[in-house]
Amino acid sequence: MTKQEFNPNEIGEKIIDVIKTIYDPEIPVDIYELGLIYDVLVNENFDVKILMTLTTPNCPVAETLPVDVEDKVKTINGIKSVEVEITFDPPWTQDLMSDEAKLEIGIL
């Protein structure tokens, strides 16, 4: 399949599916449901930019988690490049978690 046969919306859905396979090592919830992914942008050239945060600035996986996200998203057919940017604005709170994630860890 060539890149022209893809569209950014399909790629976006595939990116979310891949991100949902990545789990926070301290909380048994994937990072998407945990609310760590703030935005996923795909341009017409299939360059991807992911804006994400961590549960805390001192998160033990601060060095490895963004690399893991980048590496796994790069495996999606059709993607040209991936950039993962970490932000702490706004800071992560439990309010960013999906109801599914809150149920999983027992806070809902």
pLDDT at residue 4 is higher than 60: no
Domain CATH code at residue 41: 3.30.300.130
Answer whether residue 103 is part of any domain: no
Q: Which domain holds residue 38?
A: 3-91
Contacts of 51 (CB under 8 A, 6+ apart): 37, 38, 39, 40, 41, 85, 87
**Tens-digit pLDDT profile for residues 12-63:** 999 999 999 999 888 889 999 999 999 999 998 999 999 999 998 888 888 9
pTM score, two decimals? 0.89
Q: Could you give the number of structural domains in the chain?
A: 1
Between helices 65-74 and 8-19, what is the axis angle to 10°? Answer: 130
